[in-house]
Amino acid sequence: MKIIIDAAGGDHAPLEVLKGAAEAAKEYGAQIALVGNEAEIRKASEKNGVPLTGLEIIHADRGFPMEADPTSVIKENIVTSMGVGLKKLADGECDAFVSAGSTGALLAGATFLVKRVKGVKRPVIGTTVPNGIGRYYFLVDSGANSECRPEMLMQFAVMGEVYASRIMGIESPRIGLVNIGSEDTKGTQLQLDAFALLKKSGLRFVGNVEARELPLGGCDVAVCDGFTGNVILKLSEGMALFFIKELKRMFLSGAGTKVAAMLMKGQLSEFKKACDYKELGGAPILGVQKPVIKAHGSSDAKAFKNAIRQAVVCCEKDIIGEIARGVAEQKAGAAEKGRPPRK
């Protein structure tokens, strides 16, 4: 198994990528290649004493610029680290690709270079979001498709179900449709039509789920358009930061509360860890023919290492094959149900 990682993507590239990759190479036994400017990679390695033992280097002139038109990654697949990495993935020279670079470019490149799984309308970004200590729900779409059709949401549910059960280890995941009320008649036409599709999908559909229920464990896979999903993801992050900030302020407000902080040290660090995206790996782009993992832009070595682990697990568990089967079965099922009754 070979995983390529974008050495020029993210706020802390290339050093943190190198560190994470070196640790992952040691720990997971997978072959790991760094794609990026070779001179820069070697310089960062020497300067910081991070040996490149066990890591392959694939040269690309430069990283993909964050501010560039995302679709330009498709043409620039011999110049930019992301383009080169995705091209090698498409050509079968590796098994998965990890990048903390531009989400839009990674999505465009994954869609048009690596290409979609047969039958998939639109690739989607899913994110694991904490809803307890060591517990998570899977949010699809968390930002790929701002505008969606009902059949797209249906497929997000199918792909999300596969990811939640195979990778997150949730048995028989409960699929919820994010909506502004729990009644069947709530939402815009998109939710109404998606509800009807999900109801007859054969998935374990638990109906409409209000955003209030998401952090309280209301469902295991939360299905929505990418605009709503992105709002949910970012508000969850912001609320976590808000609470941690307020908690800190409270603990530092007096002598007694400082003692309290010391007594709570273990619990607080466990909780902070549970809320920390770095522990979770990255966000998978689902619906393309090879595993592509989007690592958080501010990833450090640990986050990169975990994103690589996630790519390894996606390969081992054949997530692509499972998604292809899931999408095909759902399509066949829909055709079956859509067939007029025999006379």
- Cβ of residue 181: shortest distance to its own copies, in angstroms? 8
Q: What is the token pair recorded at 271?
A: 């909780």
In the chain, the amino acid numbered 293 is: I
Q: Which is nearer to its own copies, 145 or 165 (CB)?
A: 145
- Cβ of residue 137: shortest distance to its own copies, in angstroms? 12
- Cβ of residue 189: shortest distance to its own copies, in angstroms? 8
Instruction: Please give, one letter per residue, the 3-state secondary structure of 59-88.
Output: ECCECCCCCCCCCHHHHCCCCEHHHHHHHH
Q: How far is CA 101 from CA 44, 48, 68, 288, in A?
A: 18, 22, 11, 18
Alpha carbon distance 74, 87 (integer Å): 9
Helix extents (H) in 142-212:
150-166, 189-199
Alpha carbon distance 226, 145 (integer Å): 5
Q: Which is nearer to its own copies, 93 or 270 (CB)?
A: 270
In the chain, the amino acid numbered 44 is: A
Three-state DSSP class for residue 193: helix
Alpha carbon distance 317, 308 (integer Å): 14
Alpha carbon distance 128, 136 (integer Å): 6
- Cβ of residue 253: shortest distance to its own copies, in angstroms? 6
- Cβ of residue 206: shortest distance to its own copies, in angstroms? 16
Q: Which is nearer to its own copies, 232 or 312 (CB)?
A: 232
In the chain, the amino acid numbered 64 is: F
- Cβ of residue 271: shortest distance to its own copies, in angstroms? 6
Q: Kindly report whether the peptide bond that precedes residue 14 is cis, defined as omega within 30 degrees of 0.
A: yes
H-run or E-run covering 284:
strand 283-286
Q: Which is nearer to its own copies, 214 or 288 (CB)?
A: 214
Q: Which is nearer to its own copies, 48 or 146 (CB)?
A: 146
Q: Taking each helix axis from N to C terminus, what angle separates 38-48 and 15-28, rounded to the nearest 10 degrees?
A: 80
Residues that bind its own copies (CB under 8 A): 131-133, 143, 146-147, 178, 180, 187-188, 210-216, 226-228, 230-243, 245-247, 250-251, 253, 256-257, 259-261, 263-264, 267-268, 271
Q: Which is nearer to its own copies, 7 or 222 (CB)?
A: 222
- Cβ of residue 223: shortest distance to its own copies, in angstroms? 13
H-run or E-run covering 260:
helix 255-263
- Cβ of residue 222: shortest distance to its own copies, in angstroms? 11
Q: Which is nearer to its own copies, 103 or 289 (CB)?
A: 103
Q: Which is nearer to its own copies, 214 or 301 (CB)?
A: 214
